[in-house]
Structure 1
Amino acid sequence: MAVTPPPSLPAHPDPWLDTILHGDLPHELAYAFGGPVHLLLPERFDVNVTAFRTALDEAGVDGRVYYAKKANKAAAWIERCAVHGTGVDVASLGELREALGHGVRGESIVVTGPSKSDDLLRVAVLQGCLIAVDALDELDRVVSLTTVTRPARLLLRRLPPAQPHSRFGLNDAELATALERCAEAADAVRMEGFSFHLSGYATQPRADLAGELVELCLKARVMGLQADRISIGGGFAVDYAAASDWERFLREQGPGDYHAGKSFTTADFYPYHSPIAGADALRAVLTAAPSGSGAPLADRLREAGVMLLMEPGRALLDRAGCTVFRVQGIKDRSGYAILTVDGTSLSLSEQWFNSEYLPDPVLLTTGDRPDGAPVRACVGGATCLESDMLTWRKVTFPARPRPGDLLVYPNTAGYQMDSNESPFHDLPLPPKVVVGEADGRIRWRLDRRPPS
């Protein structure tokens, strides 16, 4: 009787990353820094931004891409935004200062998030940033902070009717009041349009709500407001793995595949395969007909003279980085092994969502070793907490790992690297290393923003 192999989830092949990983660089960096390292590939960021801009151009839609800075704290991405004219989405005074400090113009920054502080609003108004207003009291504070020389630029954030329990955005009554207050404020504000952010990754609901916002723009113009742009936020999926691998994984995985019988609700897993991802998801939104309209969204935008703004984060960081850990020890349990690496699960942030980062880590061995059978192993962190597991799943490795080997988690730039990192146990945060090719060689430098 054939034995069914344990479920695995290999990431999509990546020849450029393989070139980097199979050289000396990962081992040299692990040795130099004495701990885990995040590798950043900014050229991939540029490719992803270009793909979104191309989708807009193909549809004949006037639009603007804003990188959602919360997805990764590295300065490398903001530097690329400044050089190539990409906008940046920020939600704190620290993020705004970072963007301005790396050369992004205030006019290219959109400020989102709930109940923004007065200090954040003040700087945003002075620098000409576009502010997504989330509540009526916030609107009043924005108006009070305007100056004689510069009006406040703002969007009104819409509470999604399909997600009425969201704590973000203005409902119908609040939206009507906000429009009246914007009209009364006259030259103190420039009400440039509306915004929303939807949970999940479905494209049709985004087209539906975008169509509604186009109609709101037309109504706002009757009140004398500018209202010539809408923002559809983020939520563009990333495709990490092949459809067949993802479907097989979901079908076959179970508690027996995880250390200590750990169980996960598959609905809480990120959709590591998405048939429509990145810029293709934007194309799907643009070609979809909003509910109640027979015309594609792109046509409605052009007819109404409305610009489309978006705030992708993870999608701009697709394949733009990976995380390298060094194996510190290995112990055996019944039928599998437990690896301990020189970092913690705080550097793989999916467990923040009571989930698991599922793309298989890649083993980079050191030195020659005799042929042997594959080994299944989970991966724990270097702290004294039972819950500090980078990978609860018993991953199949082609050889028995040993101290000094490296584990590479692929495609971690989007949210995984630093959403909830902490120097727990006084362990240093992993440095971010920018990797690129110059003069026919692979070169590296430290990201200019120190970890914090």
Structure 2
Amino acid sequence: MAVTATSAGAPPLPAHPDPELDAILGSGLPHELSYGLGGPYHLLLPDRFDANAASFTAVLRDTGVEGRVYYAKKANKAAVWMDRCALSATGVDVASSGELRDALGHGVRGEHIVVTGPAKADALLRVAVLQGCLIAVDALDELERLLAQARAVARPARVLLRRLPPAQPHSRFGLADGAWEAALARCAAAGETVVVMEGFSFHLAGYATEPRARLACELVEACLTARGTGLRADRISIGGGFAVDYTDAGHWARYLGGQRPGQYHAGKSFEAADFYPYHSPVAGADALRAVLTTHDLADRLRTAGVALLLEPGRALLARAGCTVFRVQGVKDRGDYGIVTVDGTSLSLSEQWFDSEYLPDPVLLPATVRPAGEGPYAAAVGGASCLESDMVTWRKVVLPARPHPGDLLVYPNTAGYQMDSNESPFHELPLPPKVVLDTGGGRTRWRLDRHPLA
């Protein structure tokens, strides 16, 4: 059955061209891994992570701004990222005892770790103080508990005070005006034998660069004011929120303008606001450059002697991995089909947000197809018995009708798609992560962690 994009399928949304990934996909390795692992898997490309981290560091260097990049660990649990951070002195942003143990266990130094998250447990605060981590304090009661931990272990706590963004007053994170002033006074009264107040932090929802620059400028001035009370206050963290550009502007505009319920299985409907902005004209390290050049932020930081910390997650994982499913069956439903794969939608976590991961999957046939097969529109379902287990609700136009044993590869999934929502539902094993190492001019693969780790 042949269909066209205008008859049944949703408008195409191909990921940006990636010749290196295309070569890997065309090498036969994905099929060998599918056979050997016996199920879906995630493919990781650590060289891309290294390049992304280096691009952020280069912007700091080019603009003459002192600072450090911290990888937001929640974006992907793979151990290989911790190994790369330890080797490159890239920092790590953690928010739990487990994340802190994992970072330390892979060789990341405590002073290169920032501990974020709300209402941190005493056990996490204690280890963070002992290891010399920088701790973003989110509330007055948390500050008091942290001071108690610092006294108990006779080590000063390194602190950033997290600011409630004035433009987002309903956020549940950060200190509002009265609490902010009380926290400053408390730090000054405690003294540097108990707490070293190194500066301020914030995190803004969304990806706009101007609001980040504006609030960062305000925090530079706050550092200067805090120094007048005897506090160190020589750094600010602007958090994450650096967009990833998955597809070009034309495809993105056509997708948003052309989508309708009939292009999704079961008439599912989405609003444009439901989707991640899969095209961003300013993304990754370019977004950092835009922040630094807005409101003369770079000049303000240099003049005030304030370092800039940032905590990208998705942006450090751009093009650093993909997700591979094996086709288990195909059924025709009139003008489209339903492809069932050997995993579940839990491995593409936009469903967690009642949304859809939009970059088009790539079909890798297991065998040569007869000439003359036309395009085939299909939604993609998971292997569970839940109606809602749809890996892809939209009717994607594939180059041919898939067969059992073919692979569907979802590109650029390392940032937040892998493992954020996975569980062994139906006793299905979690998809393993496969690392491609390219050192020495050859490509070799290994599992990211031992199965029992």
Query: What's the TM-score bracket when you normalise by the shorter of the two chains?
Result: over 0.9
Give the deviation of 1:442 after TM superposition: 1.8
The answer on 1:246 being equivalent to 2:252 is yes
Q: Is this contact kept in 2: 1:374–1:399, CA < 8 A?
A: yes
- The separation in 1 between residues aligned to 2:161 and 2:444, in whole angstroms, is 44
What letter matches 1:414 in structure 2? G
The answer on 1:361 being equivalent to 2:361 is yes
What letter matches 2:246 in structure 1? Y
Alignment partner, residue 444 of structure 2: 443
Task: Note closer, same or farther for the CA distance 1:447–1:9 as it changes in structure 2 (3 Å cut).
Answer: same
Q: Is this contact kept in 2: 1:74–1:449, CA < 8 A?
A: no
Give the deviation of 1:369 after TM superposition: 1.8
Query: Equivalent residues in 2 for 1:271-282 (5 A)?
Result: 271-282=277-288
Task: Note closer, same or farther for the CA distance 1:307–1:423 as it changes in structure 2 (3 Å cut).
Answer: same
Give the deviation of 1:438 after TM superposition: 3.7
Task: Note closer, same or farther for the CA distance 1:75–1:450 as it changes in structure 2 (3 Å cut).
Answer: farther
- The separation in 2 between residues aligned to 1:253 and 1:344, in whole angstroms, is 24
- The separation in 2 between residues aligned to 1:50 and 1:449, in whole angstroms, is 28
Alignment partner, residue 134 of structure 2: 130
| Paired residue total | 445
Q: Is this contact kept in 2: 1:190–1:226, CA < 8 A?
A: yes
- The separation in 2 between residues aligned to 1:379 and 1:434, in whole angstroms, is 26
Alignment partner, residue 288 of structure 1: 294
Alignment partner, residue 232 of structure 2: 226
Alignment partner, residue 146 of structure 1: 150
The answer on 1:391 being equivalent to 2:396 is no
Give the deviation of 1:174 after TM superposition: 0.4
Task: Note closer, same or farther for the CA distance 1:450–1:194 as it changes in structure 2 (3 Å cut).
Answer: farther
- The separation in 1 between residues aligned to 2:76 and 2:5, in whole angstroms, is 41
The answer on 1:189 being equivalent to 2:190 is no
- The separation in 2 between residues aligned to 1:167 and 1:270, in whole angstroms, is 22
The answer on 1:44 being equivalent to 2:48 is yes
Alignment partner, residue 176 of structure 2: 171
- The separation in 1 between residues aligned to 2:439 and 2:23, in whole angstroms, is 14
What letter matches 2:157 in structure 1? A
SS in structure 1 of the partner of residue 60 of structure 2: helix
Give the share of equivalent positions with the same residue, in percent: 73
- The separation in 1 between residues aligned to 2:260 and 2:65, in whole angstroms, is 46
TM-score (norm 2): 0.97
Query: Equivalent residues in 2 for 1:30-429 (5 A)?
Result: 30-147=34-151, 149-186=154-191, 187-289=193-295, 296-371=296-371, 372-429=373-430
TM-score (norm 1): 0.97
Give the deviation of 1:367 after TM superposition: 1.2
SS in structure 1 of the partner of residue 423 of structure 2: coil
- The separation in 2 between residues aligned to 1:310 and 1:271, in whole angstroms, is 21
Alignment partner, residue 293 of structure 1: none
The answer on 1:23 being equivalent to 2:27 is yes
The answer for unaligned runs of 5 or more in structure 2 is none
SS in structure 1 of the partner of residue 42 of structure 2: strand
Give the deviation of 1:441 after TM superposition: 2.7
Give the deviation of 1:11 after TM superposition: 0.1
Q: Is this contact kept in 2: 1:190–1:225, CA < 8 A?
A: yes
Q: Is this contact kept in 2: 1:82–1:104, CA < 8 A?
A: yes
What letter matches 1:63 in structure 2? G
Give the deviation of 1:439 after TM superposition: 3.9
